[in-house]
């Protein structure tokens, strides 16, 4: 197997850290460079298992700093890039969109442009590969039926999804204009270990353990398609190694839950795994709060292309994976 030089941007965040653990375990011969600015959402301790591995290095670099990124690319000489670095929380993008434009749009542009320059100089533009990791939120919202396919028109509704849609368009343009070897994935909501406190599942578990009200937007009717982060990492691995250049692949769990049903499910896991819950169970703490502006009603992914073309399948072990996830956050918040 080739000895690849793999740069992972955003590798100290939720999905990036799980991806690096997956890559180190499955491709011990790869040289991996984790490039991360270390925002509030990151934690290098997620990578303590691999931090002293000979094939792993870390650089604290902000991809909006083009000069530093250019220097780093020339020093590391990547032939493979997984691009995950991004501001990722919709609520933050509503409160203050500017960092989303800088990191997600300008940062992606800097990365594309510096890779294009370097790979062109080295005659590697068509052989080296960039996998751009994006979201199903670029497609906007669905009604009560239908699924997002790769052909669904983009209709982003939040500053976050608009910034990701913009980055997807830049990646597409670098393929069509310069012949860059890119692939893009658009994935549904991930769950699993290493997610920042602010996101839905960690918030539910943390507030429940504190016996505080568990905040649910609106009436909790919004539907999301939940995918375990390890299944997403396997999909990224497959698309990176076998996806066709210039293509996009949707990644999803065929696992739709309304927010209220998901939260009730988490509460029922807490009821049987954590002693000392409130009388009547953790679900009694559920409290409906004013809805998020522009809150998309439903996201659901048709992953047929990924399944049929690359043979990826969701492991379909939602019960066990959710229990393992709850246990991971209980251990974190009980410390
Ligand atoms: N979490 C999900 O459910 C989900 C679903 C689909 C797609 N995605 C996409 O996957 C990627 C990773 O998401 P996540 O949930 O792990 O996010 P995260 O917020 O947990 O991690 C993002 C990481 O990027 C880093 N980062 C941010 N701005 C940077 C910059 N300017 N320079 C360098 N590093 C920077 C942060 O420090 C952090 O470590 C994002 O691109 C996101 O849009 C996430």
Domain 5-191+227-253+300-316 coded CATH 3.40.50.720: yes
Q: Tell me: pLDDT of 1 over 60.
A: no
Query: Which residue's C-alpha comes closest to atom 27 of ligand 1?
Result: 86
Using alpha carbons, select from 153, 145, 156, 127 the residue that is nearest to residue 256. 145
Q: For the chain, how many helices (H) and strands (E)?
A: 11, 13
Q: For residues 175 and 113, what is the distance between their CA atoms, to the nearest angstrom?
A: 12
User: pLDDT higher for 315 or 85?
Assistant: 85
Residue 3 banded pLDDT, cuts 50, 70, 90: confident
- Give the residue, by CA position, lying nearest to ligand 1 atom 39: 13
Confidence band of 79 (pLDDT split at 50, 70, 90): very high
Distance (angstroms) between ligand 1 centre and the Cα of 13 equals 6
Percent of the chain with pLDDT strictly greater than 90:
96
The domain ranges of the chain are 5-191+227-253+300-316
pTM exceeds 0.75 for this model: yes
pLDDT digits (tens, 9 = 90+) for 12-42: 999 999 999 999 999 999 999 999 999 999 9
pLDDT band of 334, cuts 50, 70, 90: confident
107 lines ligand 1 (CB under 6 A): yes
Residues 109, 130 contacting (CB under 8 angstroms): no
pLDDT tens digits for 204-236?
Answer: 999 999 999 999 999 999 999 999 999 999 999
Return the structure tokens found at 183: 């692939």
Mean pLDDT value of segment 90-111: 97
Neighbour-count burial for 83-102, b at 16+ CB within 10 Å, e otherwise: bbbbbbbbebbbeebebbbb
What residues pair up with 56 in beta bridges, in sequence order?
32
DSSP-derived letter for residue 46 is G
C-alpha 36/C-alpha 25 separation (Å) is 20
Rounded Cα distance, 185 and 248, in Å: 6
Q: How far is residue 282's CA from residue 270's CA, in Å, rounded to a whole number?
A: 7
Burial of 280 (0-12, 13-18, 19+ CB in 10 A): exposed
Rounded mean pLDDT, 136-143: 95
Q: Do the bridges between strand 129-135 and strand 182-187 make them parallel or antiparallel, or are there none, so unpaired?
A: parallel
Q: Hey, how many other C-beta atoms are within 10 angstroms of the C-beta on 248?
A: 22
Residues labelled catalytic: 136-137, 160
* Closest CA relative to residue 61, chosen from 98, 23, 15, 114: 114
Cβ-proximal residues to 290 (8 Å cutoff; 6+ apart), any chain: 217, 218
Q: What is the pLDDT of residues 237-291, one digit of tens each?
A: 999 999 999 999 999 999 999 999 999 999 999 999 999 899 999 999 999 999 8
Q: What is the pLDDT of residue 2?
A: 56
Residue whose tokens read 């072990």 = 317
- Residue to substitute in 33, 85, 190, 201 for testing ligand 1 pocket (most ligand atoms within 8 angstroms of CB): 85
**DSSP letters for 168-190:** HHHHHHHHHHH---EEEEEE--E
Give the number of other Cβ atoms within 10 Å of residue 191's Cβ. 25
Quote the longest CA-to-CA distance of the chain: 67
Asked if residue 255 has its Cβ within 6 Å of ligand 1, the reply is no
Residue 335 pLDDT more than 90?
no
CA distance 247 to 183: 5
Residue with CA nearest ligand 1 atom 26: 85
């Amino acid at each position: 197997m080739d000895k690849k030089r793999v740069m992972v941007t955003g590798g100290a965040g939720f999905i990036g850290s799980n991806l690096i653990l997956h890559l180190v375990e499955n491709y011990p011969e790869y040289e991996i460079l984790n490039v991360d600015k270390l925002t509030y959402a990151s934690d290098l301790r997620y990578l303590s298992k691999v931090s002293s591995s000979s094939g792993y290095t870390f650089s604290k670099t902000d991809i909006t700093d083009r000069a530093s990124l250019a220097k780093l690319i020339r020093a590391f000489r990547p032939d493979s890039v997984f691009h995950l670095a991004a501001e990722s929380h919709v609520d933050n993008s509503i409160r203050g969109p500017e960092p989303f434009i800088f990191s997600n749009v300008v940062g992606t542009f800097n990365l594309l442009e510096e890779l294009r320059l370097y790979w062109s100089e080295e005659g590697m533009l068509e052989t080296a590969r960039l996998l751009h990791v994006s979201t199903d939120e670029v497609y906007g919202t669905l009604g009560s039926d239908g699924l997002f396919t790769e052909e669904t028109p983009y209709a982003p509704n939040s500053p976050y999804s608009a910034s990701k849609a913009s980055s997807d368009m830049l990646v597409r343009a670098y393929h069509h204009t310069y012949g860059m070897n890119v692939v893009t994935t658009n994935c549904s909501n991930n769950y699993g270990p290493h997610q920042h406190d602010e996101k839905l599942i960690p918030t539910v578990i943390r507030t429940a353990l504190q016996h505080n009200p568990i905040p649910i937007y609106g009436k909790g009717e919004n539907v999301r398609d939940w995918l375990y982060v390890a299944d997403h990492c396997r999909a990224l691995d497959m698309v990176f190694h076998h996806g066709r250049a210039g293509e996009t692949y949707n990644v999803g769990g065929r696992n739709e839950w309304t927010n209220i049903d998901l939260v009730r499910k988490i509460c029922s896991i807490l009821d049987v795994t954590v002693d000392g819950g409130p009388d009547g169970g953790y679900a009694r703490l559920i409290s409906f709060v004013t809805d998020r502006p522009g809150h998309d009603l439903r996201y659901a992914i048709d992953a047929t292309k990924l399944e049929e073309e690359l043979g990826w399948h969701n492991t379909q072990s939602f019960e066990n994976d959710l229990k393992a996830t709850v246990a991971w956050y209980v251990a974190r918040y009980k410390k």
